[in-house]
Structure 1
Amino acid sequence: MGGARSVHTIETLKSEIKEHNAHIIKPPKFTSQAITRYFLTRPTTLIPTKAELAHYEWSDVYNPFKALREVSLKQWNFFFIGFWAWTWDAFDYFTISLNVSNIAKDLNVSVKEVTWGITLVLMFRSVGAIIFGLIGDTKGRKWPYIINLLLLSIIQIGTGFVKTKSQFLAVRSLFGIAMGGLYGICAAEALSDAPVNARGIMSGIFQEGYAFGYLLAVVFQRAIVDNTGKWQDIMFFSAGVSVIFIVWRLFTPETDSFIKQQQRIDSEAQTDRKTKIKEFQSQARKALKQYWLIMIYCVLMMAGFNFSSHGSQDLYPTMISTQYHFGANKSTVANVSANLGALVGGIFFGHMSTFIGRRFGIICAAVLTGAMIYPWGFIPNAGTVFVFQMGVQGAWGIAPIHLSELSPPQFRTLVVGTSYQLGNLVSSASSTIEATIGERFPIPGAKGVYNYGKTMAIFMAAVTVYLILIVFLGPENKDADLGMERDDYYCEEGIDDLDDASIDQNKPDFKHNEEIKEEVKENV
């Protein structure tokens, strides 16, 4: 690997323009030639070339703090606003997963019936993603963020007061709507202004707020529920903490990227003599024309991600406690180890995706997952679950930035959040499927105990193969701009009339006007 040049010359500027134009998303073509060319480039574009690796020093690879030093205090503030809300969102979710047996006993129902509460949360999250995603892209992310957290607090309190299965399922359905709107907003807050070189590792850290939330849930489950004997207490605790993030967000403005996006939409609306609503509709039609196939792909990809996550986590506490008879302390150690592995994997693979690419990074993590399925399901201990979750959540660590780079910039909150939650919808019955299949494999001599290890291992093997295939066949737009300027076409006309000194002091803007841009894009 070599170092990148910092001075702008005619050649470097041409190279930058070429790189920018390569990230423009064009409407899909379905000619035999276009389809053949696309599939032939899937293997050739998977692994980075020597020329691409030449942009980095070896120190960039083994020292992630080098990239993180580029992040300003303002950017860190927005990152942690997104990270902590996503972390506590996961905490709220896992308070149910960790208490499936307790809730079933308290409501006098089966474990399978309680898992429908998890399923309903996953099913209704898409509704929240669409509602709050649209608001976030048009009006800003601040108030949707605050409203979501406020609703989650109220619903968590309500969950603690349920007395019947019907009440429990109704409250968890409402929880799903509120929870669904938060991921896209948090991802936009955390990554919108992030420097390009730091995107990969920041994506990994952000995504592992999910694992960190699970880790915190395990710790507070042990500290609260295992001591008081009441699963309701952790619900009341989780509701209070959200207030901290609500107050924090109240005193923080919108991100620079969103402000810039709104200014551009206002400017284009005035230029074309349109209202903001008309301009928004125009932008939506344009984005749909360019990105519709990629948006469908994102949902299919996120279905694989969500199956891997929920298939490996939702019934894991039940498996180790009922099948393998882990006590409270041993269960805590196993669950903490799983989430420490997830944190390490997400950050490591997120960082490495900066150099080896998003698709190849996800596939490498998925291969690690596949290699660890047997020991994870049949020899459960702190070590096997640590490495297994390194693979599962290592792939997930790349997902936020991969989705952000593929999504239409002006509708990133909507597309990222909705893709993720529709993937959740597709995978919503993971725990119920596993519980149902598990009942076909009873443990001999143990009434009401099933071989969840066997069931979950088979399930995760199928999911891992699917994820590898879908990512291998999919697109990638690594290092693309996250602002609306991504789809502006730039040309080299006039560059040769300049000299290197003038370029280095004041790099010119070669963006086409709208008419020329559309004409050129049709012929690229």
Structure 2
Amino acid sequence: MMSEQESTCTKSSVSIQNIEKTPKADVSLRSCRNYLSTRLSTLLSIPASKGKNGIKTFNLKKAIKSMSLHHWNLFWHGFWAWTVDSMDFFCVSISVSDIAKDLNTDVTSITWGITLVLMLRSVGSIIFGYCGDRWGRKWPLCVCYLLFTILEIATGFVKTLNQFLAIRSLFGIAMGGCYGLAAATSLEDAPQVSRGFLSGIFLPGYSLGYVLATAFYRGFETTQFTWKALFWFSAGPPFLLLIWRLSFGELEYFKDLYEAKQLHNQRVKEAIKARELGISTDDNEEDLREITFWSELKETFRAEWPMLIYLILMLSGTNFMSHGSQDLFPTMLKKQAKLSRNALTITNVVVNLGGCFGGIFWGQISEFLGRRLAVILCAICGGAFLYPTFFKHSEAYIIPCGFLLQFAVMGAWGIIPIHLTELTSKSSLRTMISGTAYQLGNLASSASSTIESKIGSRFPLKESGDDAYDYGKVMCIFMGCVFGYLIIVLFLGPERFHTSIKTDFMLEEEDVDSNYELDRVLSPVPRSHFEGKIRVIHKE
């Protein structure tokens, strides 16, 4: 944190340091040609070869030891926020057949509840992301928890399909705000050396949420209220998280960010006042601009709009990958593979534990291979297990192959939080930008389950009953296309490996651990000692 002496401007020091304006995004033909020519070389520029002895070693002990109790508290809170978010979402996926039966409708109609949640999450990410970047991460996240609690209880009382869809639509808005705030809570205050390790643990909370939804569904399945009791029970965890979040304060990262903005704006006002009094300054009009939300948003779009488009394309692929392999998976096991209740529970739990282990494993592998190459390898490995998972309808094939499929799918997702944080490192609106990009990817993939269900209904399995369809064939082909798309997008995409997440007008991190080129950076908050600071820039 800044000292009181540093945050005080004297009247004799009213000049604002000339700041080199962030260059506008260059999308000229020459620039694009140069960029594309480096895709293969940068993909194969493996970080593991950048160490002092020609190979980099990942020091897990250092990553863990660098974390204080405060850091662990923040990380585990964000982790459980994301896990509970996932569990509440999968409560519908795991009980879709029972909900359809009670509401006197078909499975496809209920899957619209999943689709609506995914579609409206982008609305929530904009609303809560704006609040999080303007007023802090704490209170918007608390509002998310409160909405989760209310809406999960309300879901258990619906009587018609329209009521169900309306409640799930509101839930989608609340859910959309959770990811960006949870990721920020887990990673922003963490030491640089620990973030890759933490990223690999954070996203598997999504798979853990699936496991919890499956386990609790099995517990309530034979009760009087079945799926309704599941939703009433799922209102408890977010309420506990609300109490937990109220017990500690705002993130230090946001405090520093807010203080840096205030200091800059104070000095701008003093420089303008000096001009009005006839005191000459060396500042041009560009220097005399206060930092506001809208100015930051405009600057981000001006300089980073190609990156934002890429993020949506990348996250659309990763969301199609997860939802395409998970949302209708329980229905396929129940209707097509005809697994018993116990076998269905065991299979769902084991398969999604594969996702938990995969995220941790591949998150650490990305520290050696880089983010892009690691995600591409996940897509290739996942493709190898599509056929046995979706065409061999016996536990002997589905459990081990499904485990390895989700090991790859959620392995890719284990890399995404840190990759996304690094790609949005130049913007102080990271919560809104990353959260909205993630949710727009969700929006693009929102019809995954409905598409699979609709196409699957064209392949009825008469021998298995009137409501049995060949979902396995559809899911296998669908996932093959998704993996191919993801490989292409990641190959063509950028990477900012181990870049600092601090903005130019904040104190740069002192625990940067990277062997990439170090460039001197000037801060919009002028201070003499800051000019010696450095940050890491991965030259593409």
TM-score bracket, shorter-length normalisation: 0.7 to 0.9
Aligned residue among 490, 509, 513 for 2:531: 509
**Other-structure match for 2:170:** 174
Alignment map for 1:270-419 (pairs within 5 Å): 270-273=266-269, 279-379=292-392, 380-407=397-424, 408-419=426-437
Question: Which 10-residue stretch deviates more, 160-169 or 263-272?
Answer: 263-272
**Other-structure match for 1:141:** 137
Aligned residue among 42, 47, 67 for 2:44: 47
Question: In structure 2, what is the Cα distance between the partners aligned to 1:172 and 1:204?
Answer: 29
**Other-structure match for 1:99:** 95
SS at 1:509 equivalent: helix
CA separation of 1:229 and 1:55: change in aligned 2, threshold 3 A: farther
**Other-structure match for 1:80:** 76
**Other-structure match for 1:193:** 189
CA contact (8 A) 2:153 2:231 kept: yes
CA separation of 1:291 and 1:328: change in aligned 2, threshold 3 A: same
CA contact (8 A) 1:490 1:510 kept: no
Instruction: Give the TM-score normalised by structure 1.
Output: 0.86
SS at 2:350 equivalent: helix
Give how far 1:57 is off. 9.5
Question: In structure 1, what is the Cα distance between the partners aligned to 2:222 and 2:370?
Answer: 43
SS at 1:48 equivalent: coil
Give how far 1:65 is off. 4.1
Question: In structure 2, what is the Cα distance between the partners aligned to 1:480 and 1:26?
Answer: 18
Question: In structure 1, what is the Cα distance between the partners aligned to 2:241 and 2:420?
Answer: 25
- The question of 1:27 aligning with 2:45 is answered no
Question: In structure 2, what is the Cα distance between the partners aligned to 1:424 and 1:68?
Answer: 32
CA separation of 1:479 and 1:452: change in aligned 2, threshold 3 A: same
Question: Which 10-residue stretch deviates more, 434-443 or 477-486?
Answer: 477-486
Give how far 1:507 is off. 8.9
Question: In structure 1, what is the Cα distance between the partners aligned to 2:337 and 2:158?
Answer: 30
SS at 1:485 equivalent: coil
Alignment map for 1:55-134 (pairs within 5 Å): 60-61=57-58, 64-134=60-130
Question: In structure 1, what is the Cα distance between the partners aligned to 2:129 and 2:74?
Answer: 18
Give how far 1:484 is off. 1.0
CA contact (8 A) 1:343 1:390 kept: yes
Paired AA for residue 36 in structure 1: R
Give how far 1:369 is off. 0.7
Consecutive unaligned residues of structure 2, counting only runs of 5 or more, are 1-20, 273-287, 509-517, 523-527
Question: In structure 1, what is the Cα distance between the partners aligned to 2:421 and 2:32?
Answer: 24
Question: Which 10-residue stretch deviates more, 251-260 or 452-461?
Answer: 251-260
**Other-structure match for 2:14:** none
SS at 1:272 equivalent: helix
Consecutive unaligned residues of structure 1, counting only runs of 5 or more, are 1-23, 494-505, 513-520
**Other-structure match for 2:265:** 269
CA separation of 1:418 and 1:55: change in aligned 2, threshold 3 A: farther
User: How many aligned positions are there?
Assistant: 478
Question: In structure 1, what is the Cα distance between the partners aligned to 2:267 and 2:290?
Answer: 14
CA separation of 1:85 and 1:300: change in aligned 2, threshold 3 A: same
- The question of 1:432 aligning with 2:429 is answered no
**Other-structure match for 1:451:** 470
Question: In structure 2, what is the Cα distance between the partners aligned to 1:132 and 1:222?
Answer: 33
CA separation of 1:411 and 1:378: change in aligned 2, threshold 3 A: same
CA contact (8 A) 1:150 1:242 kept: yes
Give how far 1:35 is off. 0.9
Question: In structure 2, what is the Cα distance between the partners aligned to 1:313 and 1:28?
Answer: 37
CA contact (8 A) 1:409 1:486 kept: no
Give how far 1:120 is off. 0.4
Aligned residue among 462, 485, 503 for 2:504: 485
- For residues 476-506 of structure 1, give each alpha carbon's deviation from its aligned partner in whole angstroms, at most 9, with x where no partner exists: 111111111389995499xxxxxxxxxxxx9
- The question of 1:462 aligning with 2:506 is answered no
CA contact (8 A) 2:47 2:367 kept: no
Question: In structure 2, what is the Cα distance between the partners aligned to 1:197 and 1:468?
Answer: 28
- The question of 1:225 aligning with 2:247 is answered no
Give how far 1:60 is off. 4.0
SS at 1:312 equivalent: helix
Paired AA for residue 373 in structure 1: L
CA contact (8 A) 1:349 1:394 kept: yes
CA separation of 1:214 and 1:260: change in aligned 2, threshold 3 A: same
- For residues 403-442 of structure 1, give each alpha carbon's deviation from its aligned partner in whole angstroms, at most 9, with x where no partner exists: 1111143111001110111001011000000000001111
Give how far 1:197 is off. 2.3
Give how far 1:311 is off. 0.4
Instruction: Give the TM-score normalised by structure 2.
Output: 0.84
- For residues 15-61 of structure 1, give each alpha carbon's deviation from its aligned partner in whole angstroms, at most 9, with x where no partner exists: xxxxxxxxx98532122221111001111001234785315997944
Question: Which 10-residue stretch deviates more, 431-440 or 200-209?
Answer: 200-209
Alignment map for 1:179-258 (pairs within 5 Å): 179-228=175-224, 230-258=226-254
**Other-structure match for 1:165:** 161
**Other-structure match for 2:4:** none
Question: In structure 1, what is the Cα distance between the partners aligned to 2:66 and 2:75?
Answer: 13
SS at 1:254 equivalent: coil
CA separation of 1:25 and 1:350: change in aligned 2, threshold 3 A: farther
Higher helix share: 1
**Other-structure match for 1:11:** none
Question: In structure 1, what is the Cα distance between the partners aligned to 2:257 and 2:34?
Answer: 34
CA separation of 1:439 and 1:50: change in aligned 2, threshold 3 A: closer
Question: In structure 2, what is the Cα distance between the partners aligned to 1:365 and 1:55?
Answer: 28
